[in-house]
Amino acid sequence: MLAAKEDGKWKTYSTQEVNQIVHNLASGLLQLGLSGKDLSVEEQDKVAIISRNRPEWIFLDLACQLIGVVLVPVYPTSNPHELTFIYNEASVKYIFCSGQELLDKTLALQHDVPSLKEVFCFDKLPGVRHWTEILNNTHIDEVDVLKKTIQSSTCVTIIYTSGTTGVPKGVMLSHHNVVSNVLNSISSFPFERDTQSRALSFLPLNHIFERMITYLYMVSGISIYYAESIEAIGDNIKEIKPAVFCTVPRLLEKVYEKIMAKGEELSGLKKKLFFWAVNLGIEYDNRKSKGILYDLQLSIANKLIFSKWREGLGNQIKYIVTGSAACQVRLLRLFNAARIPVYEGYGPTENSPVISVNRREKGGAKYGTVGPVINGQEVKLLPDGEICVKGPSVMMGYYKRADLTAEVVKDGWLHTGDIGVFEENKFLRITDRKKELFKTSGGKYVAPQPIENKMKESHFIEQMMVVGEGHKFVGALIVPAFTALQNWMSKKGIAFTTHEEAIRNPQVLLMFKSEIEHFNELFNHVEQIKRFELLPEEWTVDTGELTPTLKLKRKVIKEKYKEAIDRIYS
């Protein structure tokens, strides 16, 4: 059922073992005095978890569910200020963590959280009790009675998302919210029961997407293997040969960049064949035939080139699901052409989360959209294009914030803050975030995401943020794809020393200007990038420019690169 690397080997847990551990842990939690039966959300006891993905994460999650205790997962990358706020607002009684770094981070806050009784660790470390020390079967009978009395309307988890004011908001989800989303997703995608398949889990479990997908795997009988780390994903994929995994576009872009870098290293006929196959793949259309000749060429490309890509992913991939941000259409075309099916979906934490997903059935997917709305959900678009959803997955509300709840849930409709359109009256396409739209000084509205997503199709653009609010024209901050840039400079006979030197090179700047002008042709005059600044370092979660789900923190980037933006408009 579950597996993780321990001392260099995969340790597996059967369904029976998981069941026993979960019940013994639930018994241990009862012995600690925790409860949640027949209580309001405020009265339910709260347990926090700050840990990387591992079987123990799921053990604790399921144990809390059995006895009606609310699990409060937090991102391992959260700063101490955010953690203290979350633990105090939720009145967390116990915290479970993993690893020395997260233990130190947790213990440093202990005295600032009056409700906190004790910290447990999933790893055996000095100065803290190991989680197994509370396992017992003394309250098993009580667990068996309790689990039958938990209501579907009971709060199962509070997930904190970043608030626009900088204060995190706690999204309350009930058992019914989450279970309905799991079952509706299974019937929509569709998933079949498959006890022979394996899934690789690496997106953070503290985000509802990976957690909901975990329950979906469980219901489908798919074994879940937890990646050792983001860096080890490639090796873990080769070891376990997964049939499925969920990802975010940023990681797919990284895979693509690595493949392209290897292609650049080839020479002669091999290199020509490689790029012939790639160009063929980028033209792929799953919805209309390009004729017998194209199909024959694609078949040859699959045998000679793309088969090696599939080998790199373990040769067993049946489907990959991507969400959280828009995926480049050319990547969707290319991976699907290479018989690595990638399906894009969409949904916010407040909807548990899935609203729509491209389908595996024939004609059920359209690139550039997030697919048809899943079963059991109703979606409407407001006059300004805002996407609103109604159904069993809409959250209970924001914890202790009735005011904020009233702003986003009106007459049962969740106002997502995302702008979209329906194509063919079926496929939902996200065009932007309502709050990310900005006005130039000329009073024209600009939606940054479509511009960024299109321009990132350039081999040379790794990351990009469009700026220009209150200014005469639109500009951009660009992080180059330095591997591709280094190859280009080498071909041009330009010495590559450091990132800082490279982005100041006049020939490099001219090349980027040409790239930008090429893509500018696809946009209205007001949306075109007139000036840009190249930046020497990639934006990451650790350095604070990306959220844990790898979305741009626009406000942070604007503040951090104020001088660069000033140069654009000087």
pTM for the structure as a whole:
0.86
Q: How confident is the model at residue 171 (pLDDT cuts 50, 70, 90)?
A: very high
Mean pLDDT of 432-448: 83
pLDDT bin (cut points 50, 70, 90) of residue 548 is confident
Q: Are 317 and 241 in contact (CB under 8 A)?
A: no
Tokens representing 346 are 């969409």
Q: How confident is the model at residue 163 (pLDDT cuts 50, 70, 90)?
A: low
Pairing of strands 244-247, 198-201: parallel
Structure confidence by residue, pLDDT tens digits, 455-490: 998 989 999 999 999 899 999 999 999 999 999 999
Locus of tokens 């009145």: 91
**Looking at the predicted structure, is the pLDDT value of residue 242 above 90?**
yes
| Backbone phi and psi for residue 26, each to the nearest 5 degrees, phi listed first | -60, -40
Please count the other Cβ atoms lying within 10 Å of the Cβ belonging to residue 80: 12
More reliable by pLDDT, 183 or 525: 183
CA dist 456 to 153, 171, 344, 485, 505, Å? 43, 32, 18, 14, 21
DSSP string, 221-279: T-EEEE-S-STTHHHHHHHH--SEEEE-HHHHHHHHHHHHHHHHH--HHHHHHHHHHHH
As a whole number, mean pLDDT of residues 232-250 equals: 93
For residue 167, the one-letter residue type is: V
Q: At how many degrees (to 10) do helices 208-220 and 175-188 cross?
A: 60
Tell me, what's the pLDDT at 13? 98
Helix, strand, coil proportions of the chain in percent (round to 5)? 40, 20, 40
* Residue 352: CB atoms within 10 Å: 32
Strands 155-161 and 386-390: unpaired
Please give the domain boundaries of the chain with CATH numbers for all domains: 7-150 (3.40.50.980), 169-434 (3.40.50.12780), 437-568 (3.30.300.30)
CA distance 401 to 171: 10
Structure tokens at 157: 């988890």
User: For residue 393, which of 173, 204, 66, 219 has the smallest C-alpha distance?
Assistant: 173
Distance in angstroms (rounded) separating the CA atoms of residues 186 and 352: 14
Q: Comparing 324 with 281, which gets the higher pLDDT?
A: 281
CA-closest candidate to residue 204, choices 54, 377, 81, 66: 54
What pLDDT does residue 164 have? 45
According to DSSP, residue 304 is labeled: I
Cβ–Cβ contacts within 10 Å for residue 202, how many?
22
In this prediction, residue 251 has a pLDDT band, given cuts at 50, 70 and 90, of: confident
Percent of the chain surpassing pLDDT 90: 81
Residue-wise pLDDT for 324-358, tens only, equals 878 889 999 999 999 999 999 999 999 999 999 99
39, amino acid identity: L
Average pLDDT over residues 79-88: 93
Provide the mean pLDDT of the chain: 93
Q: Is the pLDDT of residue 101 over 60?
A: yes
Query: What's the 3-state SS for 519-555?
Result: HHCCCCHHHCEEEEEECCCCCCCCCCCECCCCCECHH
| Tally of residues, the chain | 570
Distance CA 349, CA 75 (A): 14
Determine the pLDDT at residue 166: 62
Split at pLDDT 50, 70, 90, the class of 423 is very high
Question: What does the pLDDT look like over 47-60, one tens digit per residue?
Answer: 999 999 999 999 99
Q: Which of 161, 178, 175 is nearest to 74 (CA)?
A: 161
